[in-house]
Structure 1
């Protein structure tokens, strides 16, 4: 494979591609963190997060209302949450209605979700649970790590940080997380779980290259198949905290569609899939979303080398 000469434009593009790869590790760390915080299986966690985002969507992006509830101890009252239906959550995740209904019922049983006129909400009390408070702090640390490695080029405002904005950072992180899942799902025409499996496999395949700015200037196509590190179904299941049989079933379906291939003792996302026009376009959109996310974080004071906010 002949690599094109590097100029300032191609170097900038390589920097964006590198950021897209680095964000994959952050993405998978967020999977583990959120799964631990909700302390349920991954489908239940996705249901929880999708309900929470829908509840807060009307003012997460409204600067005035968002900053009113940005700090660790500033949790919006239930009356300000917008209810969402099971149908809307199922459509967003691409998961069958009955599956989402069943997992929403589990959340209601455990007090992590409530039925109100108009649909479902995650109540105030769920966000004040000690496990959730720990997750907010852990999320800040993970996000700061991403900013330190990939956020150096984000526009940094000259205005001072606004103080404790840890909950707003979590809300933006959940938006980013769910948007990436949806983007992968649309690009590959798969549901949320299959999208997560693809993300996990792809990251392990090229993890050894993720922080190498000089290698593979033609990424996002990336390394040749022989240079991709295969990952076992067991390892994917463990990474995502999914049942082995569920993971195996998704891997098999993805292989039947040609999105994954057997390699050695595991599977890879083959180069020919990475080179598909719709996949290249999807990676471009992922990079743009990551850059926009980093820019929003910079506005909130999450900048390279920044200390955690004072609560």
Structure 2
């Protein structure tokens, strides 16, 4: 099989990575789905431009190597626009991040300082972020996608490449999030968070692609998922998750069946989900190319 034949698997791996990164942030940094995405968006706005070309990325490979004087502040208006959230919501979440000492306010916007990456809760979460990136690469290698082979991992010592690896991955995740929100403008970030978990746990990407999950992915069985399973996976109150799932079902985003919740391919056309899978494949190809270009992988 070529890489395109693994489109459903690549989309599933991307949803796992996205959910893992945000679950890690909620567990170690701030327990708020919207604030976790906003934190990633601030970081990307501050330093993402440093990865415009591989030769630029190579100058700032370790964590925290981009000085605060080089970081571009993220304005509330740009953050709200990129995440499709109200300005006041973005402002309130940014203030919450500032109160926790995670970001600083400047006249032009918000900055996540280099010290946040090397000490405190974000630094504590970093090993889990890197493990999630490693898992993505390992599974892509098992599938032999994008020229990767079994056994591929982040280069060691990982500290030497961690800064660039995390920056590139955050930019990749935000591209996927922005694309998904653009295709479902009525969804709030909390709605989208719960829906992403339900879609992932129900193996819906494989239903869209009419594919069987690879054995390497473990016990992935496409089919409806119970609200309790989604709540446990997200570590959120069951009633909160059930309320979100019912809203999603009422708007046709999910199907509410006696067996649980799953993707409604009649209400949400298969072509829409295929387009999302195609975009995930394109974005993942770009991520892998960039990681290869800076020597961040053991090939």
Q: What band does the TM-score fall into relative to the shorter chain?
A: 0.7 to 0.9
Alignment match of 1:200 (pick from 197, 202, 214): 197
Assess if the C-alpha contact under 8 Å between 1:83 and 1:120 holds in 2.
yes
Q: Quote how far apart the aligned CAs of 1:122 are.
A: 1.2
Structure 2 partner of 1:121: 111
Cα 1:300–1:238, aligned 2, differ >3 Å: closer, same or farther?
farther
Q: 1:146: how far off?
A: 1.3
Greater gyration radius: 1
TM-score by length of 2: 0.81
Q: Deviations over 1:57-108 (max 9, x none)?
A: 2213243332222113x43222111111112111211122222211111111
Q: Which residue of 2 aligns with 1:153?
A: 145
1:290 aligned to 2:279? no
Question: Any residues of structure 2 matched to 1:10-89 within 5 Å, and which?
Answer: 12-72=3-63, 74-89=64-79
1:183-194 equivalence runs, <5 A: 183-189=179-185, 190-194=187-191
Partner in structure 1 of residue 151 of structure 2: none
Shift of 1:244: 4.8
1:134 aligned onto 2:124: yes
CA distance in 2 between partners of 1:101 and 1:256 (Å): 30
User: Residue 93 of structure 1 aligns with which residue?
Assistant: 83
Aligned partner of residue 182 in structure 1, secondary structure: helix
Query: Which secondary structure state, in structure 2, belongs to the residue aligned with residue 271 of structure 1?
Result: coil
Asked if the contact 1:202–1:268 (Cα under 8 Å) also holds between the matched residues in 2, the reply is yes
Query: How many aligned positions are there?
Result: 281
* Structure 1 contact 181–196 (Cα < 8 Å) conserved: no
Which runs of 5 or more structure 1 residues have no equivalent in the other structure?
Answer: 1-7, 211-215
How far the C-alpha of 1:221 sits from its partner, in A, is 5.3
For residues 125 and 225 of structure 2, what CA distance do their matches in structure 1 show? 28
Q: Could you tell me how far 1:248 is from its partner in structure 2?
A: 3.8
C-alpha displacement of 1:168: 0.7
Maintained 8 Å contact 2:201/2:230: no
Structure 1, residues 239-287: CA drift from partner, whole Å, max 9, x if none? 3345555544432332222111112253111232564323221221112
**1: CA distance, partners of 2:194 / 2:99:** 28
Listed as ranges, the gaps of 5+ residues in structure 2 are 149-154, 213-220
